[in-house]
């Protein structure tokens, strides 16, 4: 659900940049008031894990579409809303700057859609109401499912409304809305189960970690380090190997765009802010599309292609074993861990002493 700049006008993009920047400052101030030392490494490790998990698209049966983990609910449940929002902002910034995943103009929209709704709406008003102060495996599953679905539905609605208010694309509101919401309902259900699995693992291994999100201190110990080590191993395996098995189907947003306008990608307006930011992103993204940059190929003639003889185009192999993908997963996870962890360290360093 990473929006491209082609969907966003400078006015809407700028407004959402301001909104997301305001939420970032607010989250940083609130977190600085009460940040336990254990939350700093957890911010980095969970940020890296969500980065790697977002690389894996899973097929939505009978649709021709795919989805990927948003991760906002995992972060909110295990870190609390403020640290979770800062971690999600770190993930999306790394993706946009270094991997050209989501536009720079649309970065404020993406942070808001994937960060604000799960962290400040779904987590406090849905998950915590269901789970309460005495978590059980059933309550965690129910809370994760309902909150993940609602958080993703609100995020998908945000994409549609931001596109509508921008008015720069050819996507009619009604059709786009009727396609975006159902496909992200299916994605949200999968996300709910994954969220429940991760949270349940942490809860069973180290139940005190869940108290970090409610400002209760969790003492350091061997089991805490064990949870961090397990998450790091999962991050390395997910980004380095499991990412080869990502579905090649278009994701929910691309699928809805194709069904609405006949294109999975739209052309961004030429000139102005769009061209300026596109040029900047091209210079910063050293691993575009999570792989090594490929030299441009000349268009083959129909005489020498399968099209001239009526044969189907060559399909990409699956799993897509790629050193570029593995390197992207590992370096992206490391960059996210560094950025999110650095934010937590700085806030911890300048925390007011009581």
Per-residue model confidence as pLDDT tens digits over 272-300: 999 999 999 999 999 999 999 876 655 54
Specify if 15 maps to a domain. yes
Specify if 297 maps to a domain. no
Mean pLDDT: which of 218-222, 247-251, 315-319 is highest?
Answer: 247-251
Distance of CA 350 to the CA centre of its chain: 28
| Pairwise CA distance, residues 27 & 21, whole Å | 10
Phi and psi, residue 96, nearest 5°:
-70, -45
Distance of CA 201 to the CA centre of its chain: 21
Q: Is the pLDDT of residue 352 over 80?
A: no
- Residues across the chain: 354
Phi and psi, residue 258, nearest 5°:
-65, -45
- Mean pLDDT, to the nearest integer, of 226-247? 95
Burial call 81-96: b when 16+ CB within 10 Å, e when fewer: bbbbbbbbbbbbbbbb
Asked whether the beta carbons of 17 and 115 are under 8 A apart, the reply is no
Specify if 101 maps to a domain. yes
Q: Locate all alpha helices (DSSP H) within 222-297, ordered by sequence.
A: 222-240, 252-261, 272-284
Query: Which tens digit of pLDDT belongs to each residue from 298-325?
Result: 554 444 444 444 444 456 788 899 999 9
Kindly state the percentage of the chain with pLDDT values over 70. Answer: 90
Residue 34 has a pLDDT of 81
Q: At 66, which helix (H) or strand (E)?
A: strand 65-67
Name the residue among 154, 151, 172 with its Cα closest to residue 163.
172
Specify if 315 maps to a domain. no
201 lies in which domain range?
A: 5-290+340-349
Of 60-69, 174-183, 286-295, the one with minimum mean pLDDT is: 286-295
Specify if 311 maps to a domain. no
Specify if 52 maps to a domain. yes
Number of domains in the chain: 1
Average pLDDT, rounded, for the chain: 90
Specify if 310 maps to a domain. no
| Pairwise CA distance, residues 267 & 140, whole Å | 42
| Pairwise CA distance, residues 337 & 91, whole Å | 9
CATH of the domain at 38: 1.10.1760.20
Enumerate the β-bridge partners of residue 59: 66
Specify if 29 maps to a domain. yes
């Amino acid at each position: 659900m990473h929006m491209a700049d082609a969907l966003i006008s400078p006015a809407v993009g700028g407004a959402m940049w301001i909104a997301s920047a305001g939420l970032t400052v607010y989250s940083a101030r609130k977190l600085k008031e009460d940040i336990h030392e254990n939350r700093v490494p957890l911010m980095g490790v969970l940020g890296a894990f969500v980065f790697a998990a977002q690389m894996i698209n899973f097929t939505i049966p009978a649709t021709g579409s795919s989805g990927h983990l948003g991760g906002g609910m995992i972060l909110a449940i295990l870190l609390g809303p403020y640290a979770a929002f800062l971690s999600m902002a770190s993930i999306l910034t790394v993706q946009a700057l270094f991997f050209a995943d989501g536009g720079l103009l649309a970065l404020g929209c993406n942070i808001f859609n994937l960060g604000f709704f799960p962290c400040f709406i779904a987590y406090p008003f849905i998950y915590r109401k269901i789970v309460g102060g005495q978590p059980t495996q059933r309550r965690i599953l129910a809370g994760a499912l309902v909150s993940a679905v609602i958080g993703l539905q609100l995020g998908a609605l945000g994409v549609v409304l931001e596109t509508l208010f921008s008015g720069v694309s050819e996507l009619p509101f009604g059709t786009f809305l009727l396609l975006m919401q159902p496909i992200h309902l299916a994605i949200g259900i999968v996300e709910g189960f994954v969220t429940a699995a991760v949270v349940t693992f942490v809860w069973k291994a180290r139940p005190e970690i869940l108290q970090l999100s409610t400002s209760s201190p969790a003492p350091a110990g061997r089991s805490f380090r064990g949870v961090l080590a397990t998450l790091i191993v999962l991050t390395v395996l997910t980004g380095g190997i499991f990412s080869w098995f990502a579905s090649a189907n278009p994701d929910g947003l691309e699928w809805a765009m194709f069904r609405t306008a006949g294109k999975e990608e739209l052309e961004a307006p030429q000139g102005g802010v769009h061209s300026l930011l596109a040029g900047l992103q091209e210079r910063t993204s050293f691993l575009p599309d999570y792989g090594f940059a490929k030299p441009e190929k000349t268009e083959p003639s129909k005489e020498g292609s399968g099209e001239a003889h009526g044969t189907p185009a060559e399909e990409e192999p699956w799993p897509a074993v790629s050193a570029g993908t593995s390197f992207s997963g590992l370096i992206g996870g490391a960059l996210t861990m560094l950025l999110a962890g650095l934010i937590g360290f700085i806030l911890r360093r300048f925390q007011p002493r009581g």
